[in-house]
Structure 1
Amino acid sequence: MSRWLSLWIVIVVGLTDLLQPARAADIHVDSANGFDGNDGLAAVITTATNGPVRTLKRATQLAQAGDRIVLKSNGQPFFETLYLTGGRHCGFASRPFTIEGNGAVISGLRDLPPDGWRPQGPGLWRLSLTRKGHYRFFRDNQPIPEFLPTTRSMALDDLPLDHYFSHQGAVIFRFDEGYVPYTELWTYAAADIGVSLVDVRNLQIRNLTIVGFRVDGLNADGNCRGVVLDNVTLEHNGRAGLSANGTSQVFVESSRLTGNGRHSAVITEYARVNLQNTDDGGVEPTVIE
């Protein structure tokens, strides 16, 4: 290597370091006790404006490149989508932009209106939802398994007990005869995506559960690079736990992609997903070219 080339590399590396913010901030989010008028710079409220924010949306508005968004796990899920886009939500090789979940949950579940149930026959009940294609249902916080028929001509009587399936634009359930579903608490996957990544670089997401979204738990689109999921659970989402598209590259370590509707992970276009020490529920990632 020539002397001038070595000097040029040193200058470029030095300039890159100078472009980094002098100090990374921790933006704290507390879904129970936070307030979006706070600055997010403290885990607990200390003054009229110093304390955690309440929503993920506000945290992403305050965050800058190389920062950490720190979630508080208090038993109350975040019922919203986390949107991260290139620029201010990117990190650096030496200091990634980080989502520290601390065991918190991002949920796409909403209460199922009890007046939506319609009897369809002995032990059979019907639901019609506005948004169709992918479904996930929970009864008293327990997932109800979906039945995937092998033919389109399946008779309703062939539906297994305590299962559901999509039928002619509606959803059909089978229960014990005499059971009335609207007497219990039901939730369903209402929101589309749990975490949306677009063109982010050097991002780490840790210790987080993403559950109950209609389509995907996490979607990486565009040109996402240096994305690491560490101890992240993506489960019971309607289509896939993880979706990687465009030229995105996602490394998944010590995580769970289980109980999702069609795929543990779906990979399209030129994207890449690397699973290490990760439970995919026996369902290998699906590559769609």
Structure 2
Amino acid sequence: MNRILRFLLLLAASAAARDIHVGTDKDMPTIAHAIKAALPGDVIHLEPRVYRDYAGFYGKKGEPGKPITLDGHGAILEGSDTLNPAQWTEVSPGLFKNEALLPRLDDAVIGRWFFLWGGQMNHMGRTSKGRSAPLKKPEDLQPGEWTFVKDPSRAKPSSLQIYGDFYLRLPAGQKLADAQIFAPVRSAGVQMGGDNAHLVIKNLTATHPYNDGFNIHGDCRDVVFENIAAIECGDDGISAHESAQYRVDGFLSIGNSTGITDTGTAQTSYTNVFLARNIGFDLFFLDEGRYTLTNAFVLSSAQNGLSITGRANGDCRMKMENVLLRRLVKPHTGSVAARAALEAKNCTFENMEIKVEGSAHWDNCLINGRPFPEGAPATGADASALMKLMPKDFKP
């Protein structure tokens, strides 16, 4: 009897959820080790520090009521590493060249590229979505600038991979080791691919990857993000692709190429959102997806504040409630394109118009102080409540 009881206790213990601590559990040295080992109900814990690492979920599934949880506890997933001077050649005074900075490059990566120079992002006037300046010739670079030059002689037919050289210009006499330059060597902070289900990712910041902070591909189901942030990412703060389905509660997206970009047949829900200092787009929703945005404060300085657009094969539907979009720079016209539909309730748009080619339904909304529909009383979003979403130390 005692033998049977011990067996049952061992069986119950083996089925119990575990707490997995990355870096402190000796058999879990990296985030990848922990994700691979996690079973339904397990919680992966990070320490509240900077990890030069990313979290990749590829075909990872919890169970209904027993999700696999990644709790960052305030951790930062840093996408950049400092430059290694040994990998660069000084081709002329102050001009440095690297022929193989990343193992694989394509035009999309170059379109998203930046260097961190003294802690500041340097895009060279470029963005992955929107208007971009052309790349300079190496000989035209000024101190503190960079460029990339393709090498067609190394191209491989039928491959999207490209080859070429990065160039940096430093002030005369400065050593590369003293320049405090970092390169974005990781593609994302959190990345999903394949079929993922029953996951929770929370209390985590992604910063400085060359692509998205949170890059969600595949057919994910019952995936929840809580209290996350994407800061200064080369492309989107967060982006849903294909048939991804997820919910976000608590999201900061600051200084990215775009704040939020969702595509495909994705179904996403965002609540308690703050966006600012994005470059190409603030809110960009496309294709045949079904999207909702609730309780959001957008300080818009991107080239495009709001774009909702369908494609030839389907329509895009967006619901917005209690959203304040305040344009900080020159006025811009947001768009609800053909094959797109917007339902807006208790929303306020300041210093911008909305062009509707598809359809839009307005309920208690204000656009530049004018009630929509025209003539109807409206109060719009509660700005005082939405201001609480702004980080306390944020400066526009």
Aligned equivalent of 1:143, options 120, 123, 131: 120
Q: CA deviation at 1:247?
A: 0.9
| Larger RCO, structures 1/2 (Cα 8 Å, 6+ apart) | 1
Aligned equivalent of 1:83, options 37, 56, 61: 56
Give the 3 Å change call, closer, same or farther, for CA 24–70 of structure 1 in structure 2: same
Partner-residue secondary structure (3-state), 2:40: coil
Q: CA deviation at 1:123?
A: 6.8
Q: CA deviation at 1:264?
A: 2.6
Partner of 2:26: 35
Give the 3 Å change call, closer, same or farther, for CA 95–146 of structure 1 in structure 2: same
Partner of 1:103: 74
Aligned equivalent of 2:177, options 176, 179, 182: 182
Q: Establish whether residue 244 from structure 1 lines up as the match of residue 237 from structure 2.
A: no
Partner-residue secondary structure (3-state), 1:216: coil
Letter in 2 for 1:112: L
Q: How does 1:215-230 map to 2 (within 5 A)?
A: 215-230=211-226
Distance, in Å, in 2 between the alignment partners of 1:105 and 1:179 is: 30
Q: How many residues align?
A: 245
Distance, in Å, in 1 between the alignment partners of 2:34 and 2:56 is: 10
Give the 3 Å change call, closer, same or farther, for CA 247–144 of structure 1 in structure 2: same
Letter in 1 for 2:116: F
Query: Counting strand residues as a fraction of each chain, which structure ranks higher?
Result: 2
Partner of 2:261: 266
List per-residue Cα deviations over 1:202-240 (Å, max 9, x = no partner). 322111122232322222222112222222122233222
Q: How does 1:51-200 map to 2 (within 5 A)?
A: 53-73=28-48, 75=49, 77-86=50-59, 89-92=61-64, 94-117=65-88, 126-128=97-99, 129-130=101-102, 131-132=104-105, 133-134=109-110, 135-139=113-117, 142-148=119-125, 150=132, 152=134, 162-168=144-150, 169-173=164-168, 176-198=171-193, 199-200=195-196
Q: Establish whether residue 203 from structure 1 lines up as the match of residue 180 from structure 2.
A: no
TM-score, reference length from structure 1: 0.69
Partner-residue secondary structure (3-state), 2:177: helix
Distance, in Å, in 2 between the alignment partners of 1:91 and 1:107 is: 30
Structure having the higher Rg: 2
Letter in 1 for 2:71: E
Partner of 2:284: 286
Q: Percent same amino acid at aligned positions?
A: 26
8 Å Cα contact 1:263/1:285 also seen in 2: yes
Two-structure CA RMSD over aligned residues (Å): 3.2
Q: How does 1:18-33 map to 2 (within 5 A)?
A: 23-29=16-22, 31=23, 33=24
Partner of 2:369: none
Structure 1 spans left out of the alignment, 5+ residues: 1-20, 37-52
